[in-house]
Amino acid sequence: MVVEEFLKEGRIAYFSMEIGIRPEMHTYSGGLGILAGDTLKSAADLRIPMVGITLIHRMGYFKQELDPFGRQIEHPDPWDIEKYLSKLDVKVEVMIEGKPVYVTAWLYVIESITGGKVPVLFLDTDIPENTSEDRTITHFLYGGDLQYRLKQEIILGIGGVRILDNLGFQINKYHMNEGHSSFLTLELLNKFKKPIEEVWSEDLVWDIDKVKDVCVFTTHTPVEAGHDRFPYELVQKMLGEPVPLWLIKKLAGDGMLNMTLLGFNLSEFINGVSKKHEEVSEKMFPGYEIHAITNGVHTYTWVSESFKKLYSKYHFGWANEPEIFVRAWRIPSEEVWNAHVEAKKHLIDYVNRITAANLNYDTFTIGFARRVTPYKRADLLFLDPDRLAMIGEGRIQIIYAGKAHPQDEGGKKIIQKIFEVKERMKDRLKIVYIPNYDMEMAMKLVAGVDIWLNNPLKPYEASGTSGMKAAHNGVPNLSVLDGWWIEGWIEGYTGWAIGGMDETSDTRRDVEDIYYKLSNEILPLFYENRSNWINIMKSAIAMNAYYFNTHRMIRLYVTEAYIR
Ligand SMILES: *Cc1c(COP(=O)(O)O)cnc(C)c1O
């Protein structure tokens, strides 16, 4: 069997509801999944023994169509599983609603040019042994209702541990990437149960410390809705009592089963994804010791073709040692600019091919692309469209992309608002919204725009990673001081801040700041002082890309969380 080579040494099992490895595999929705994929890619490069576990998501997240009014239409987004994965000869049983559901797994192997390899297991219930309803459990990422989500999380957590055991993996640590996989702790409680004859009360068979010893939990968002909660009635109906209810309630909260609390209470090491997010999480969950390991991106994945050539010319070995970027200032400015022009041309040609936007090569281009949800404030730039046109007419063009979750009405309205302004301002500003944002489009965007804009409502951006991708391509950030940018921001060197360091956002002030900096600092620099503009591009590489990568990040997980 193909997995055999991975069974010889102990591994860290990395559980994530989504893992985004390549654009053709529709197993991710956004930041969380891309981070998971980038993490496992760095592990492969650095030969860190890990194994990824996720669901197969046969129908993807969704394919986004936008009508002329910016109304989002969602389509299933299936992908060619057999082309990328190999089916494993494995089958385990998980009880849901008192009936067995059978789970199998498919294998993808991340192979690094260093020779390192990391296996990723994709759990699948779409097999003939299951009822037609159960076969759909692993179809839609973040689809369906609460009950559907609960079933998926049972398969991921409990099914995942059983699949690993059944295949013969030796697991040293279980890393829960967000609370979706927290049920794995219940499976471990059962696995590590003390023999009844060794304890003096039945309640004491549960070895919480032993489970804690092998568990690591990463929380990813200060947004309440990002923390799954299930009513105990539903849990009992679907899951039964793999461990007694009193114990689950003790670990996961009294009123509802809180997946984050369950993970927290059974993990020796808990972390947030930036220093600021650590503070915010400690306030959200008083009494827990929460650490900070700031996110990164996989350098080789997120550097465009033209910058790959450039880096290879001046900084041999950069892909497996991104620290080398600390010397990026030595790259001749002209060559940095040429590499950017190539990436920008690639993007503009692409946008002009698929839309009627008719963007220009020479115009200052602002990029904004990410999940569309109210706290990200995608329409903030348009608080005063006339003012924006006054500053930017003939001088700026703006590219948007992003999907709103099918149930996020607020997010969907924001897309419509952008379409409205786009139409209203069409004679003065070139604005384009590209449908169906994915990894491939993200690559073109982060490398091809001149500035990367991020203006979330504080303190909701736990980290953010798209700005790190931009920095890897010499694209400076213009961003609210939240998440990673607090750590990466050096005003006028790596980019610009929107607003100050206050705990919460002042919308009016944020937008004033954007307009002010665009018209007084950023545009004059771009158009009239190109050599200083290129210096900022080089600083973004030297001071941001050298640090905000998953190579640095995974090493910190190893020394802070996995080996301790
Ligand atoms: C990087 C990435 C994200 C995350 O973007 P943030 O700005 O960090 O929210 C989302 N979607 C895709 C396709 C990405 O590549």
Q: What tens digit of pLDDT does each residue of 214-250 get?
A: 999 999 999 988 899 999 999 999 999 999 999 999 9
Under DSSP, the state recorded for 549 is B
Ligand 1 atom with minimal separation from the 465 CA: 8
Regarding whether 474 and 330 lie in a shared domain, the answer is yes
If you average pLDDT over residues 83-89, what whole number do you get?
Answer: 98
Q: Which of 34, 443, 550 to mutate to test the pocket of ligand 1 (most atoms within 8 A of CB)?
A: 34
Domain assignment present for residue 148? The answer is: yes
CA of 452 to the centre of ligand 1 (A): 12
Tokens for 40?
Answer: 């496992």
Say whether pLDDT at 403 is over 70.
Answer: yes
Taking residues 408-432, report their average pLDDT: 97
pLDDT at 472: 98
- Give the ligand 1 atom nearest the CA of 437: 13
Residues 267 and 385 in one domain: no
**Ligand 1 center to 208 CA (angstroms):** 36
Residue 153 CA, ligand 1 centroid: distance in Å: 23
Write down the pLDDT at residue 50: 98
Examine the domain organization and report whether 228 and 370 are in the same domain.
no
> Rounded to the nearest whole angstrom, what is the distance from the C-alpha of residue 179 to the centroid of ligand 1?
19
Question: Which pLDDT score, from 0 to 100, does residue 434 have?
Answer: 98
Secondary element (H or E) of residue 263: helix 259-265
Residue 1 has pLDDT above 80, yes or no: no
pLDDT at residue 510 above 80? yes
Nearest to 159 by CA among 90, 215, 85: 90
Q: Tens digit of pLDDT for each residue in 497-508?
A: 999 999 999 999
Q: Percent helix, strand, coil in the chain (nearest 5)?
A: 45, 20, 35
Q: What is the mean pLDDT of residues 64-71?
A: 98
Nearest-atom number in ligand 1 for the CA of 297 is 1
Ligand 1 pocket, mutate which of 294, 368, 370 (most atoms under 8 A from CB): 370
Give SS3 for 387. helix
Structure tokens at 283: 């306030």
Ligand 1 centroid – CA 377 distance (Å)? 15
From residue 32, how far is each of 15, 133, 476, 536 by CA, in Å? 12, 27, 23, 29
Q: Whose CA is nearest to atom 10 of ligand 1?
A: 30
Residues 279 and 329 in one domain: no
- State residue 201's pLDDT score: 87
pLDDT at 114 over 90: yes
Angstrom distance (rounded) from CA 258 to CA 254: 9
288 and 309 belong to one structural domain: no
What is the reported pLDDT for 224? 87
Residue nearest to atom 12 of ligand 1 (CA): 30
pLDDT at 263: 98
Question: Of 273, 371, 477, which is best to mutate to test ligand 1, by the most ligand atoms within 8 angstroms of its C-beta?
Answer: 371
Nearest CA owner, ligand 1 atom 2: 31
| 256 and 357 fall within a common domain | no
Distance 556 CA to ligand 1 centre (A): 22
Residue range(s) defining the domain that contains residue 253: 11-296
The residue whose CA is least distant from atom 3 of ligand 1 is 31
User: Can you give the pLDDT at residue 123?
Assistant: 98
Distance CA 50, CA 19 (A): 14
Question: How far does the centroid of ligand 1 lie from the alpha carbon of residue 195, in Å?
Answer: 47
Nearest CA to ligand 1 atom 15: 439
In the reported structure, the alpha carbon of residue 456 is separated from the centroid of ligand 1 by a whole-number distance in angstroms of 13
> Which atom of ligand 1 is least distant from the CA of 402?
11
Residue 544 tokens, joined: 């941001």
Q: Tell me if 2 is assigned to some domain.
A: no
In this structure, which amino acid lies at residue 46?
L
* Residue 553 belongs to a domain: no
List the beta strands (DSSP E) in 455-504. Answer: 477-480, 495-498
Q: What's the CA-to-centroid distance between 467 and ligand 1, angstroms?
A: 9
Co-location of 433 and 475 in the same domain:
yes
Q: What is the pLDDT of residue 276?
A: 98
Domain shared by 470 and 540, yes or no: yes
**564, pLDDT greater than 80:** no
Give nearest CA residue, ligand 1 atom 11. Answer: 30
Total residues found in the chain within this entry: 564
Residue ending a domain, choose from 296, 314, 337 = 296
Atom of ligand 1 nearest to the CA of 463: 8
Euclidean distance between CA atoms 467 and 484, whole angstroms: 9
Ligand 1 atom at minimal distance to the Cα of residue 443: 15
List 217's β-bridge partners, or say none. Answer: 176, 270
- 559 in a domain, yes or no? no
The tally of CA atoms less than 13 A away on the side-chain side of residue 421 is 24
Distance 402 CA to ligand 1 centre (A): 9
Measured in Å, residue 31 CA sits from the centre of ligand 1 at 4
Pairing verdict, β 495-498 and 291-292: unpaired
Q: Ligand 1: which of 41, 303, 466 to mutate, most ligand atoms within 8 Å of CB?
A: 466
Provide mean pLDDT across the span 387-415. 97
pLDDT of residue 203: 86
Ligand 1 centroid, distance to 307 Cα (angstroms): 20
Digit-coded pLDDT (tens) for 371-391 = 999 999 999 999 999 999 999
Considering the domain architecture, whether residues 263 and 283 belong to the same structural domain is answered as yes
The pLDDT-based confidence of 200 (bands split at 50, 70, 90) is confident
Nearest protein Cα to ligand 1, atom 1: 466
What's the confidence (pLDDT) of residue 187? Answer: 98
Query: Can you give the pLDDT at residue 213?
Result: 98
How high does pLDDT run on average in the chain?
Answer: 97
Split at pLDDT 50, 70, 90, the class of 202 is: confident
Query: For position 33, what pLDDT does the model report?
Result: 98
Q: Find the 148 Cα to ligand 1 centroid distance in Å.
A: 25
Rounded to the nearest angstrom, the distance between the alpha carbon of 205 and the centre of ligand 1 is: 44
pLDDT at 407: 96
Are 367 and 452 in contact by the 8 Å Cβ rule? The answer is yes
Residue 522 lies in a domain: yes
Q: Is the bond preceding residue 459 a cis peptide, omega within 30 degrees?
A: yes
- Percent share of the chain, pLDDT over 90: 97
- Mean pLDDT calculated for residue range 98-124: 98
Q: What is the atom index within ligand 1 of the atom nearest the CA of 441?
A: 13
C-alpha span between 206 and 199 (Å, rounded): 10
pLDDT at 543 over 70: yes
Q: Determine, yes or no, domain membership for 4.
A: no
Instruction: Specify whether 259 is located in the same domain as 111.
Output: yes
Question: What confidence tens digit (pLDDT) does each residue in 247-295 have?
Answer: 999 999 999 999 999 999 999 999 999 999 999 999 999 999 999 999 9
* pLDDT score at 340: 98
Band of pLDDT at residue 2, cut at 50, 70 and 90: confident
- The verdict on 246 and 351 lying in the same domain is no
Collapsing DSSP states into helix, strand and coil, what is residue 539?
helix
Q: Which CATH number covers residue 220?
A: 3.40.50.2000
* Boundary residue ending a domain (296, 331, 357): 296
Domain count, the chain: 2
Residues 268 and 345 in one domain: no
Residue nearest atom 4 in ligand 1 by C-alpha distance: 31
Cβ < 6 A, ligand 1 pocket? 30-31, 34, 370-371, 437-439, 442, 464-466, 469
Listed residues 238, 271, 296: the one ending a domain: 296
